[in-house]
Amino acid sequence: MKQIDFYFDFWSPYAYLASGRLAEMAERHGFTINYCPIDLTRAKLEAGNTGPPNLAIPPKIRYLMTDLRRWCARYGLPFGGVPKSKDTKRINIGALLAQDRGLARDYVREAYDATWGQGGDPSSDELLTSLAAKLGWDADEFLGYISSPEAEERYEAVFAAAAERGVFGVPIMIVGEEMWWGNDRLEFLEEFLGSQA
Protein backbone atom coordinates (compact mmCIF):
# COMPACT_ATOMS: atom_id res chain seq x y z
CA MET A 1 0.00 0.00 0.00
CA LYS A 2 1.22 3.51 -0.83
CA GLN A 3 2.09 5.58 2.24
CA ILE A 4 2.31 9.21 3.31
CA ASP A 5 4.50 9.92 6.33
CA PHE A 6 2.82 12.76 8.21
CA TYR A 7 5.00 14.62 10.73
CA PHE A 8 3.03 16.68 13.21
CA ASP A 9 2.91 18.06 16.74
CA PHE A 10 -0.36 18.86 18.50
CA TRP A 11 1.17 22.25 19.28
CA SER A 12 1.01 23.15 15.57
CA PRO A 13 -2.18 24.84 14.34
CA TYR A 14 -1.13 24.35 10.74
CA ALA A 15 -0.82 20.60 11.28
CA TYR A 16 -4.35 20.83 12.76
CA LEU A 17 -5.51 22.40 9.52
CA ALA A 18 -3.67 19.87 7.35
CA SER A 19 -4.61 16.70 9.22
CA GLY A 20 -8.25 16.39 8.19
CA ARG A 21 -7.72 17.26 4.55
CA LEU A 22 -4.71 14.98 4.36
CA ALA A 23 -6.77 12.05 5.63
CA GLU A 24 -9.42 12.67 2.97
CA MET A 25 -6.78 13.04 0.26
CA ALA A 26 -5.02 9.84 1.23
CA GLU A 27 -8.29 7.91 1.14
CA ARG A 28 -9.24 9.40 -2.22
CA HIS A 29 -5.96 8.37 -3.83
CA GLY A 30 -5.50 4.98 -2.15
CA PHE A 31 -2.72 5.96 0.26
CA THR A 32 -2.33 5.15 3.94
CA ILE A 33 -0.98 7.65 6.47
CA ASN A 34 1.88 6.85 8.79
CA TYR A 35 1.30 9.29 11.68
CA CYS A 36 4.65 10.49 13.05
CA PRO A 37 4.34 12.73 16.13
CA ILE A 38 7.43 14.80 16.90
CA ASP A 39 8.46 17.69 19.13
CA LEU A 40 8.22 20.76 16.87
CA THR A 41 10.54 22.93 18.98
CA ARG A 42 13.25 20.28 18.98
CA ALA A 43 12.85 19.69 15.23
CA LYS A 44 13.42 23.37 14.55
CA LEU A 45 16.49 23.49 16.78
CA GLU A 46 17.88 20.28 15.28
CA ALA A 47 17.61 21.91 11.83
CA GLY A 48 19.35 25.10 13.03
CA ASN A 49 16.23 27.27 13.29
CA THR A 50 17.02 29.26 16.43
CA GLY A 51 14.80 32.29 15.72
CA PRO A 52 12.22 33.45 18.24
CA PRO A 53 8.93 31.51 18.42
CA ASN A 54 5.83 33.07 16.87
CA LEU A 55 4.33 33.78 20.28
CA ALA A 56 7.31 36.02 21.11
CA ILE A 57 6.51 38.44 18.26
CA PRO A 58 3.27 40.37 19.02
CA PRO A 59 2.52 41.59 15.47
CA LYS A 60 3.13 38.09 14.14
CA ILE A 61 0.86 36.45 16.73
CA ARG A 62 -1.93 38.92 15.89
CA TYR A 63 -1.60 38.04 12.21
CA LEU A 64 -1.35 34.32 13.02
CA MET A 65 -4.67 34.38 14.90
CA THR A 66 -6.37 36.10 11.95
CA ASP A 67 -4.83 33.65 9.50
CA LEU A 68 -5.94 30.65 11.57
CA ARG A 69 -9.51 31.97 11.79
CA ARG A 70 -9.57 32.36 8.01
CA TRP A 71 -8.27 28.85 7.38
CA CYS A 72 -10.61 27.29 9.95
CA ALA A 73 -13.57 29.08 8.35
CA ARG A 74 -12.51 27.80 4.94
CA TYR A 75 -12.23 24.21 6.19
CA GLY A 76 -15.29 24.35 8.44
CA LEU A 77 -13.22 23.69 11.56
CA PRO A 78 -13.73 25.12 15.03
CA PHE A 79 -11.04 27.44 16.39
CA GLY A 80 -10.84 27.74 20.16
CA GLY A 81 -7.68 29.81 20.28
CA VAL A 82 -4.19 28.90 21.39
CA PRO A 83 -4.13 25.78 23.60
CA LYS A 84 -3.48 26.45 27.27
CA SER A 85 -0.11 24.67 27.31
CA LYS A 86 2.77 24.00 24.93
CA ASP A 87 3.47 20.67 26.62
CA THR A 88 2.28 18.19 23.99
CA LYS A 89 4.66 15.33 24.75
CA ARG A 90 2.13 12.91 26.25
CA ILE A 91 -0.68 13.69 23.79
CA ASN A 92 1.84 13.27 20.95
CA ILE A 93 2.95 9.90 22.34
CA GLY A 94 -0.70 8.82 22.45
CA ALA A 95 -0.77 8.92 18.64
CA LEU A 96 1.68 6.01 18.63
CA LEU A 97 -0.71 3.87 20.67
CA ALA A 98 -3.55 4.92 18.38
CA GLN A 99 -1.47 3.87 15.39
CA ASP A 100 -1.00 0.43 16.96
CA ARG A 101 -4.75 0.14 17.47
CA GLY A 102 -5.65 1.25 13.96
CA LEU A 103 -7.25 4.45 15.28
CA ALA A 104 -4.63 7.06 14.45
CA ARG A 105 -6.91 9.09 12.19
CA ASP A 106 -9.64 9.20 14.87
CA TYR A 107 -7.13 9.99 17.60
CA VAL A 108 -5.55 12.85 15.66
CA ARG A 109 -8.96 14.31 14.81
CA GLU A 110 -10.19 14.16 18.42
CA ALA A 111 -6.92 15.42 19.90
CA TYR A 112 -6.80 18.39 17.53
CA ASP A 113 -10.42 19.20 18.24
CA ALA A 114 -9.71 19.17 21.99
CA THR A 115 -6.65 21.42 21.62
CA TRP A 116 -6.92 23.89 18.73
CA GLY A 117 -10.62 23.30 18.13
CA GLN A 118 -11.63 23.92 21.75
CA GLY A 119 -8.52 25.64 23.14
CA GLY A 120 -7.92 22.90 25.74
CA ASP A 121 -4.75 22.08 27.66
CA PRO A 122 -2.96 19.18 25.91
CA SER A 123 -0.96 18.40 29.06
CA SER A 124 -3.93 18.01 31.41
CA ASP A 125 -5.00 14.60 32.67
CA GLU A 126 -8.59 15.78 32.33
CA LEU A 127 -8.26 16.39 28.58
CA LEU A 128 -6.29 13.16 28.08
CA THR A 129 -8.84 11.14 30.05
CA SER A 130 -11.66 12.63 27.97
CA LEU A 131 -9.75 11.79 24.79
CA ALA A 132 -9.34 8.17 25.89
CA ALA A 133 -13.07 7.95 26.64
CA LYS A 134 -13.97 9.24 23.17
CA LEU A 135 -11.95 6.41 21.67
CA GLY A 136 -13.39 3.80 24.03
CA TRP A 137 -10.09 3.25 25.83
CA ASP A 138 -9.40 2.62 29.48
CA ALA A 139 -8.16 5.99 30.77
CA ASP A 140 -5.74 4.58 33.35
CA GLU A 141 -4.16 2.28 30.77
CA PHE A 142 -3.83 5.19 28.34
CA LEU A 143 -2.29 7.55 30.93
CA GLY A 144 0.07 4.79 32.00
CA TYR A 145 1.22 4.13 28.44
CA ILE A 146 1.88 7.76 27.48
CA SER A 147 4.01 8.25 30.61
CA SER A 148 5.95 5.00 30.29
CA PRO A 149 9.69 4.77 29.55
CA GLU A 150 9.05 2.40 26.63
CA ALA A 151 6.61 4.82 24.99
CA GLU A 152 9.03 7.70 25.50
CA GLU A 153 11.81 5.64 23.93
CA ARG A 154 9.60 4.95 20.94
CA TYR A 155 8.75 8.67 20.64
CA GLU A 156 12.48 9.46 20.69
CA ALA A 157 13.06 6.93 17.91
CA VAL A 158 10.42 8.62 15.74
CA PHE A 159 12.14 11.96 16.35
CA ALA A 160 15.57 10.58 15.49
CA ALA A 161 14.24 9.09 12.25
CA ALA A 162 12.57 12.41 11.38
CA ALA A 163 15.79 14.35 11.98
CA GLU A 164 17.66 11.86 9.81
CA ARG A 165 15.20 12.56 6.98
CA GLY A 166 15.63 16.31 7.32
CA VAL A 167 12.28 17.07 8.92
CA PHE A 168 12.63 20.67 10.09
CA GLY A 169 9.07 21.58 11.06
CA VAL A 170 5.45 20.50 10.83
CA PRO A 171 3.24 19.68 9.11
CA ILE A 172 5.56 17.82 6.79
CA MET A 173 4.30 15.14 4.46
CA ILE A 174 6.74 12.75 2.77
CA VAL A 175 6.07 10.19 0.06
CA GLY A 176 9.21 8.28 -0.89
CA GLU A 177 11.82 11.00 -1.35
CA GLU A 178 9.33 13.81 -2.01
CA MET A 179 8.57 16.30 0.81
CA TRP A 180 5.90 18.97 1.29
CA TRP A 181 5.85 21.43 4.21
CA GLY A 182 2.78 23.29 5.34
CA ASN A 183 -0.98 23.22 5.11
CA ASP A 184 -0.74 25.51 2.08
CA ARG A 185 1.18 22.85 0.13
CA LEU A 186 -1.60 20.28 0.19
CA GLU A 187 -2.68 21.10 -3.36
CA PHE A 188 0.80 20.23 -4.62
CA LEU A 189 0.71 17.01 -2.61
CA GLU A 190 -2.69 16.11 -4.04
CA GLU A 191 -1.42 16.63 -7.58
CA PHE A 192 1.45 14.29 -6.81
CA LEU A 193 -0.82 11.65 -5.28
CA GLY A 194 -3.06 11.79 -8.34
CA SER A 195 -0.04 11.25 -10.59
CA GLN A 196 0.82 8.06 -8.71
CA ALA A 197 -2.46 6.29 -9.52
Report pLDDT digits (tens) over 93-142. Answer: 999 999 999 999 999 999 999 999 999 999 999 999 999 999 999 999 99
The single residue of 12, 124, 130, 147 carrying the catalytic annotation is 12
Spatial neighbors of 124 by CB under 8 A, at least 6 apart, are: 84, 85
Residue 12 is a catalytic residue: yes
Give me the number of domains the chain comprises. 1
Given pLDDT bands bounded at 50, 70 and 90, which one contains residue 45? confident
**Whole-number Å distance between alpha carbons of 112 and 107:** 8
pLDDT at residue 1, rounded to an integer: 62
Computed over every residue of the chain, the mean pLDDT equals 94
pLDDT at residue 54, rounded to an integer: 63
pLDDT at residue 175, rounded to an integer: 97
* pLDDT average, residue stretch 44-61: 73
Alpha helices in 58-118 (DSSP H): 58-75, 89-100, 104-112
- pLDDT of 61 above 90: no
pLDDT at residue 53, rounded to an integer: 65
3-state secondary structure of 121: coil
Measured CA distances, 180 to 5, 27, 67, 161 (Å): 10, 18, 20, 17
Listed range (23-32, 56-65, 165-174) with the worst mean pLDDT: 56-65
What is the CATH classification number for the domain harbouring 98? Answer: 3.40.30.10
* Domain that includes residue 101, residue range: 2-195
Report pLDDT digits (tens) over 177-190. Answer: 999 999 999 999 99
- pLDDT of 52 above 70: no
CB 181 within 8 A of CB 169: yes
* pLDDT average, residue stretch 155-173: 96
Listed range (2-6, 40-44, 64-68) with the worst mean pLDDT: 40-44
* pLDDT average, residue stretch 80-85: 94
Measured CA distances, 100 to 106, 161, 175 (Å): 12, 18, 21
pLDDT at residue 46, rounded to an integer: 77
